[in-house]
């Protein structure tokens, strides 16, 4: 019976007893609300979350509370004083064990220890926040292979790992990495067929085998040759020009074609042509070289093996003098020609094949009376950190006008 009585006696209590006054000397009358979070008392009694209200009449406060200075977890009592129909002030209590009544000065805490957004009841266990433990369990957490600064994947255990691989690899849906796609086609641009251009030799050998053979484009002095009519591909990589089409001394031959699969390690960033810039340009009407338009290619876009095509059209207004025009690839002039008075229209085309040391560039240009002109050259400008392509012109006589009607810069993979 004594054990049963002890179990029903409840946890130990401390009495807080004091007289409350207002600042004008009159006694406080109102209600005191005391709230606390759940905790375990020193005798292991489980104290549940609750709020109690104590009535204060003529300033007399008397309340008994379970000591919380040695509770598990450490919590505080949040106390609100209400009078005249509104909240007057708030404070926090830390109640120690005491066999004798304590005054407010013995339990008041000037600055309670709180965590997060808690407003006065001390640290709140995660288990006492509704739904928090379930929400934390539902979110993925870091796995053993997690490192910052890379693509993340969810492993078989539901935790987050970092995908391992090379910076140019692609990530597969199963979280593994590898070269992008399967085997990718390679490209051979601006290939110079080997052979003597003497007016009698009509066989020229490519440096590689086109695959497929239909991908071969052969240019003679910048003009695309017709397979079967102008030439035939024999012995896999030999261009055989037909009768009457034998290259003559001074002719320039170029070939573009695809290669057989180069293996999974060769990535192809863009499988389709990509327009970098296009639009209309401006005009110049002075004898000093001036800008007609420009295309700024950002850093990191161009890479070795890319092919860049540049096309433009110019219009000349005037009948008294000619003009000159040029195209700049970075700091290199890749095309520069003078045009006559009668050149009311001029068109141009430039191809740049990028390699590790710069670009090999071929150009074509022609006008109303300006004959077709072709050039082949090199530019050593670096392109990894960005590159500017500029269209420029100058008038032979001030007052006439040269206008960039249209231009386009296209990147081919």
Query: Is the pLDDT score of 57 beyond 50?
Result: yes
DSSP string, 74-104: ---EEEEEEETTEEEEEEEE-PPP-SS-B-H
Query: What does the H/E/C string look like for 272-286?
Result: CCEEEEEECCCEECC
| Stronger pLDDT, 410 or 158, i.e. the higher one | 410
| Stronger pLDDT, 131 or 258, i.e. the higher one | 258
Long-range residue pairs from 46-49, CB within 8 A, at least 24 positions apart, any chain: 47/11, 47/71, 49/128
* Residue whose token pair is 């960033």: 269
Per-residue model confidence (pLDDT) at position 121: 53
| Stronger pLDDT, 168 or 105, i.e. the higher one | 105
Confidence of residue 261 (pLDDT cuts 50, 70, 90): low
Residue 352 CA: distances (Å) to CA of 243, 256, 383, 399: 31, 12, 12, 34
Q: Which residues contact 110 (CB under 8 A, 6 or more apart)?
A: none
Domains of the chain by start residue, with CATH: 11-126 (2.60.40.3390), 140-178 (no CATH), 185-261 (2.60.40), 274-412 (2.60.120.200)
Which pLDDT tens digit goes with each residue over 135-190?
A: 777 778 888 888 887 888 888 888 888 888 877 778 888 888 877 755 556 788 88
Per-residue model confidence (pLDDT) at position 183: 54
Q: Which helix (H) or strand (E) holds 265?
A: none
Query: Is the pLDDT score of 120 beyond 60?
Result: no
Residue 297 CA: distances (Å) to CA of 269, 274, 277, 292, 386: 16, 12, 8, 17, 5
Query: Is the pLDDT score of 117 beyond 60?
Result: no
Q: Which residues contact 212 (CB under 8 A, 6 or more apart)?
A: 258
Cα(326)–Cα(339) distance, integer angstroms: 11
Candidate from 169-178, 255-264, 371-380 with smallest mean pLDDT: 255-264
What would the two tokens of residue 23 be?
Answer: 């600042």
Which pLDDT tens digit goes with each residue over 65-78?
A: 999 988 888 889 99
Candidate from 102-111, 122-131, 225-234 with smallest mean pLDDT: 122-131
CB 191 within 8 A of CB 253: no
* CB neighbour class for 352 (10 Å; exposed up to 12, middle 13-18, buried from 19): buried
Per-residue model confidence (pLDDT) at position 264: 45
Confidence of residue 369 (pLDDT cuts 50, 70, 90): very high
Mean pLDDT confidence for 249-276: 71
Mean pLDDT, the chain, integer: 87
Candidate from 128-132, 353-357, 380-384 with smallest mean pLDDT: 128-132
Mean pLDDT confidence for 239-265: 84
Cα(355)–Cα(352) distance, integer angstroms: 10
Per-residue model confidence (pLDDT) at position 374: 94
Coil/strand/helix, residue 215: helix
Confidence of residue 259 (pLDDT cuts 50, 70, 90): confident
Cα(229)–Cα(238) distance, integer angstroms: 16
Per-residue model confidence (pLDDT) at position 270: 44
Per-residue model confidence (pLDDT) at position 62: 95
Cα(94)–Cα(116) distance, integer angstroms: 20
Residue 231 CA: distances (Å) to CA of 143, 155, 225, 227, 247: 62, 57, 7, 5, 11
Query: Is the pLDDT score of 90 beyond 60?
Result: yes
What would the two tokens of residue 189 be?
Answer: 């641009």
**% pLDDT > 90, the chain:** 58
What pTM did the predictor assign?
0.39
Number of neighbours of residue 300 by Cβ within 10 angstroms: 10
* Residue whose token pair is 């290939």: 191
* CB neighbour class for 354 (10 Å; exposed up to 12, middle 13-18, buried from 19): buried
Query: What phi and psi, each to the nearest 5 degrees, are found at residue 410?
Result: -120, 135
Number of neighbours of residue 223 by Cβ within 10 angstroms: 12
Confidence of residue 115 (pLDDT cuts 50, 70, 90): very low
Cis check for the bond before 157: say yes or no (omega within 30 of 0).
no
**If we measure between CA atoms, which residue out of 290, 268, 272, 297 comes closest to residue 359?**
297
């Amino acid at each position: 019976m004594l054990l049963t009585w002890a179990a029903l006696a409840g946890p130990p209590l401390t009495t807080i007893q004091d007289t409350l006054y207002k600042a004008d000397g009159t006694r406080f009358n109102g209600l005191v609300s005391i709230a606390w979070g759940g905790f375990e008392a020193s005798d292991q009694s489980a104290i549940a979350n609750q709020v109690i209200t104590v009535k204060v009449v003529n300033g007399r406060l008397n309340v008994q509370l379970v000591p919380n200075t040695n509770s598990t977890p450490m919590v505080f009592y949040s106390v609100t004083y209400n009078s005249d129909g509104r909240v007057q002030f708030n404070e926090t209590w830390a109640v120690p064990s005491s066999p004798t009544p304590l005054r407010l000065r013995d339990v008041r805490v000037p600055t309670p220890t709180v965590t997060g957004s808690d407003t006065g009841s001390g640290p709140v266990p995660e288990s006492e926040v509704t739904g928090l433990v379930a929400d934390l369990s539902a979110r993925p957490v870091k796995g053993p292979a997690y490192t910052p600064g890379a693509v993340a994947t969810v492993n078989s255990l539901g935790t987050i790992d970092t995908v391992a691989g090379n910076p140019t690899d692609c990530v597969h849906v199963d979280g593994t990495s590898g070269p992008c796609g399967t085997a990718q086609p390679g490209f051979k641009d601006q290939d110079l067929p080997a052979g003597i251009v003497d007016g009698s030799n009509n066989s020229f050998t490519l440096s590689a085998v086109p695959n497929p053979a239909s991908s071969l484009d052969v240019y003679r002095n910048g003009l695309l040759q017709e397979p079967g009519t102008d030439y035939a591909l024999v012995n896999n990589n030999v261009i055989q020009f037909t009768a009457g089409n034998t290259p003559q001394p001074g002719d320039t031959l170029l070939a573009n074609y695809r290669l057989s699969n180069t293996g999974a390690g060769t990535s192809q960033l863009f499988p389709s042509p990509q327009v970098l810039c296009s639009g209309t340009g401006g005009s110049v009407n002075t004898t000093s070289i001036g800008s007609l338009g420009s295309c700024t290619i950002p850093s990191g876009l161009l890479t070795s093996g890319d092919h860049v095509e540049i096309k433009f059209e110019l219009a000349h207004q005037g009948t008294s003098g000619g003009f000159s025009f040029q195209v700049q690839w970075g700091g290199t002039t890749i095309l520069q020609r003078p045009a006559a008075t009668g050149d009311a229209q001029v068109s141009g085309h430039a191809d740049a094949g990028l390699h590790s040391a710069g670009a090999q560039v071929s150009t074509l240009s022609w006008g109303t009376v300006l004959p077709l002109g072709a050039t082949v050259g090199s530019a050593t400008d670096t392109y990894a950190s960005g590159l500017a392509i500029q269209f420029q012109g100058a008038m032979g006589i001030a007052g006439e006008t040269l206008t960039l009607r249209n231009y386009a810069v296209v990147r081919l993979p």
